Amino acid sequence: MKKKMLIIIAIILLLSSIPSVAVDGVVEIDDPERDGYIVPGSRFRRGEVIYISPEEIEIQTNQGREKYKITSSTSFEKRGKAIGINQVKEGDKVTLTFNNIYSSDVLNIKVEDEDRNIAGILKGKLQLVDERNKEIVIKDPYILKEGKWSPLSKYTLKLKNTSDNLYYVSQKINFQKLKNYIGKEVYIAYDQNLGRMNVAKLLVKSGQSQNYDGKVSTVLYTTGQMVVNNNILNIHDGTIVVKNNKLVDYINIEKNNDTQVIVDNFYGRKNSSVITITTNILADRNDNTKIVIYRGRIEDIYEYEVEIGKLNYRLDYQVLEDGKWKQIEDKQRFTISEDTLIYDSELKENIDPLYFISTRYVNAYNVKNSILRNRLLTNYYKNKAAYFVVREGDYGKELLALNLVPNKQIYYSNINLQYSSMGEIKFVDLDNKTIELEKVKNYNTLNNKWESTQDETIALEKAVILLNDEPLPLERLYNIKLGSRVYVVKEKTSSADEGYVLIIED
């Protein structure tokens, strides 16, 4: 009997050591006792993104900074939907999951909801520190708006303290010690949750205020300094740095960033207290691609390609670089796909890419607009002016959208460059096909700077719109999320500004 029991035990042990095989013949390891095995997704790390590239991600956790590998198998997720790496931003709160307990390869990166984005920057005198309720009260509050401090109508403002980001210069202080600074002026980056204002980061003011606005020409992380408009400014752990509506570390400040810096000048030492960074959607992106906008004439149309040529005999075709149109002499070809958005802004009609490429694809019965049908059959669009929205990378130049525009738009020999704008979506009017922008910056060609201005309304009926690189028809404006960042190429009119190209990121 004892011998039989030993045999049975031996058989059980032998069977348990054999991995199971899936129906398709692929071996599936499902033994939790095996070395290095974890249930997929059960190992995870949470933190804020400091840096991300196609090869790696660095996050700030409670234990410090940590780096992990991104591979071709890594997936990205946000609000329950798959996204691209470009939609993961510095300052985002993320959860990383892994399949192997010993590997640094990330299986999935999930971006947490954006309810805790920085809603604004305040300043005011600290009046009350309530330790029991974890609240503070400031009086005579101001809010940073359009690059200036604007007074709020309330005499006092109450905020909940939900973080430990409390500083006096570079020194971190606790909530109890904050009482020592009652009566002092403070800067506060705040977020909103369920209608309540929360302190995301607080810095006690420590000097006379100065304001600098311009590009970062140099940044030295080791010495904690940067140069803006030929001024050496100190940066430290207490500096409030806001980028893409996220509270970020000062190491996320990069050369050529457009910044507004509020400085406390204390006995000649210029300490940066608040830094707001304006990022350009057209800048290089995490996946080593970028969106480029050209304006020119359609020189020729090939099978799945279009060639761009000079605007006219006096003017070469142009590319938009940092708000300015730069002339380029060499012709270029862009790849057209069946997903390319082609739009006749004069007729306000979309054109099937196959119809645009060749009239042999045109079925006259399918084109209801008789004017559009005639234009396609007579090769009308060759030599016509257009905006070209192109995604460029190591693989080539892919035409995402083409906006065919009336000749009056292009044949100016003196291009008015103030028509480039950046901002955030404040309101979408589905009935009138317009959007309202806030936190607007227009490019001023006189001083080559982005300048803050008032809210603007943009008419969309003549525009091509890309939302996260995907064409967005006017009938689906409801997909635009409030607070999304937008880059606009527009023309001013007597009523609302008319947009011709909108690049939106949410």
pLDDT digits over 469-500, tens only? 999 999 999 999 998 999 999 887 666 788 99
Name the band, by pLDDT with cuts 50, 70 and 90, for residue 6.
Answer: low
Q: Cα-flanking dihedrals φ and ψ of residue 7, to 5°?
A: -65, -45
Q: Cα-flanking dihedrals φ and ψ of residue 408, to 5°?
A: -60, -25
Angle CA(400)–CA(406)–CA(412) in degrees, nearest 5?
100
Query: What residue ranges in 303-433 does DSSP mark as E strands?
Result: 305-309, 317-321, 324-328, 332-335, 341-344, 349-351, 385-393, 396-404, 420-429
Containing H/E element for 120? Answer: strand 118-130
Predicted confidence at residue 409, as pLDDT, reads 47
**226 within 8 A of 253, measured Cβ to Cβ:** yes
Q: Please give the Cα distance from 300 to 383 (Å, whole number).
A: 7
* Model confidence at 27: pLDDT above 50: no
**Could you give all domains of the chain from N- to C-terminal order, each with its CATH number?**
43-111 (2.40.50.320), 118-204 (2.40.50.320), 208-278 (2.40.50.320), 290-409 (2.40.50.320), 417-505 (2.40.50.320)
* Model confidence at 116: pLDDT above 90: no
pLDDT digits over 431-459, tens only? 999 999 999 998 887 777 888 889 999 99
State the chain's mean pLDDT as an integer: 85
**423 within 8 A of 486, measured Cβ to Cβ:** yes
* Model confidence at 237: pLDDT above 70: yes
What pTM value is reported for the model?
0.83
* Model confidence at 310: pLDDT above 70: yes
* Model confidence at 235: pLDDT above 60: yes
Quote the DSSP letter at residue 64. E
pLDDT digits over 34-74, tens only? 444 555 556 889 999 999 999 999 999 888 899 999 999 99
* End-to-end Cα distance, the chain: 71
In this prediction, residues 14-32 reach a mean pLDDT of: 38
* Model confidence at 241: pLDDT above 60: yes
Predicted confidence at residue 495, as pLDDT, reads 64
pLDDT digits over 170-212, tens only? 899 999 999 999 999 999 999 988 778 999 999 999 989 999 9
Nearest partner of 62 among 48, 82, 74, judged by Cα: 48
Beta-bridged to residue 58, according to DSSP, are 51, 67
Amino acid identity at 486:
V
Name the band, by pLDDT with cuts 50, 70 and 90, for residue 29.
Answer: very low
Predicted confidence at residue 183, as pLDDT, reads 95
In this prediction, residues 217-225 reach a mean pLDDT of: 92
**294 within 8 A of 318, measured Cβ to Cβ:** yes
**224 within 8 A of 235, measured Cβ to Cβ:** yes
Q: 22: which 2 tokens? A: 């899936």
In this prediction, residues 225-237 reach a mean pLDDT of: 93
* Model confidence at 228: pLDDT above 70: yes
**122 within 8 A of 143, measured Cβ to Cβ:** yes
